[in-house]
Amino acid sequence: MALTLHGIGTAVPHGSITRDEAVALAEHVSGGDSRQTALLQRIHQRSGVRRRGSVLIADHGDDDSFLERVPFYGSTSPSTEERMDVFQRHAAALALKASSAALSESGVAVEAITHLITVCCTGFEAPGVDLALIERLGLRADVARTHVGFMGCHAALNGLRVARAFAEADADAVVLICCVELCSLHLQYGGDPEQVVANALFADGAAAVVASAQRSTSLPALVLETNGSTVIPRSAGLMHWRITDHGFSMGLSPQVPQTVAQALRPWLDDWLGAWDLSPASITSWAMHPGGPRILTACGEVLELSPEQLQTSRAVLHDHGNMSSATVLFILQRLRHSANPGPCLALAFGPGLCAEAALFRLIHG
């Protein structure tokens, strides 16, 4: 049974960091070694990110330096407890903003929501974001709750798979999916190259979807037809996401882009072939921009034109990598701008794993 996305809502924090400000913060957390400045500038320039949202930006006077506007990152690295305290103060509000927008666009009444799926890999608390959404949105007390946790950048697609399963089990199910990620809480101190790259990419954001098995009452519409997943053999050491004493630490090998790209084409050829499709027959692509090198490597192996990855690059440029929420930002833009036909969402994460969602984009 297909799952129709009736509404998509997105939200970013009020505060944001420009590329130059991100370099200043990177210099600060790397120990202020002036010899690293040129390297940090190159990494941030190549990141493809112009501006990123962060809940950590404090309001100060116009004459204050940027570092004074980010008091959370002082002379020592904050503890995981301190980082989770900030998560508890900010995550629910951002999730609420995205969910409210999705509900408003969908035209679905709050009391019609039967299932709530929350997605996050950057914070934990109980009661959590799901309970906050029930209370603040006014969802029914008997709404069925599911949490997709710590799966990384592809987790929105896992959430959509769960929603499709609910719709297959109950044709009357109406599902609210909300991804909220506060990646800026996990900036790492020191000069480890993998952490420096991660620091340059990740950002805060939330995105939500209202979906059901019912046909859309408004157009354009995205209809999820199927999901796919694959684990790339012998790649477990290339990417990790671990809880440490000072936040969540990412390991990101420079081999990731090429490893993903090499495995992607043969898997997609087989998986799409079962639907009488091929990469060449996909009208629009929502590829998660884990970084510019991922987009380039995957685009080359799939023989995609620059225009086919333009929306993914634009979201990275405007907002950074917001982990699980990012692919929903891309789908929101594609729904209103892409040509009708097959639309493929792709995202990658620790494992290495690739997740895919095949949509049909209907304009009329």
Pairwise CA distance, residues 241 & 188, whole Å: 12
Annotated catalytic residue 153:
yes
Residues in a beta bridge with 249: 242
Q: What is the DSSP letter of 321?
A: B
Please check whether residue 345 is in contact with residue 282, taking contact to mean a CB–CB distance below 8 angstroms. no
Pairwise CA distance, residues 135 & 125, whole Å: 16
CB neighbour burial string for 210-238, b if at least 16 within 10 angstroms, e if fewer: bbbbeebeeeebbbbeebbbbebeebeeb
Closest CA to 203 of 49, 310, 97, 42: 49
Say which of 120, 121, 153, 298 is annotated catalytic.
153
Strand order in the sheet with 204-212: 144-149, 115-120, 174-182, 204-212, 3-11, 221-231, 353-362, 341-349, 284-287
Q: Rounded to a whole number, what is the distance in angstroms from the first to the last CA of the chain?
A: 21
Which residues have CB under 8 Å from 240's CB, separation 6+? 249, 250, 251, 350
Catalytic residues: 153
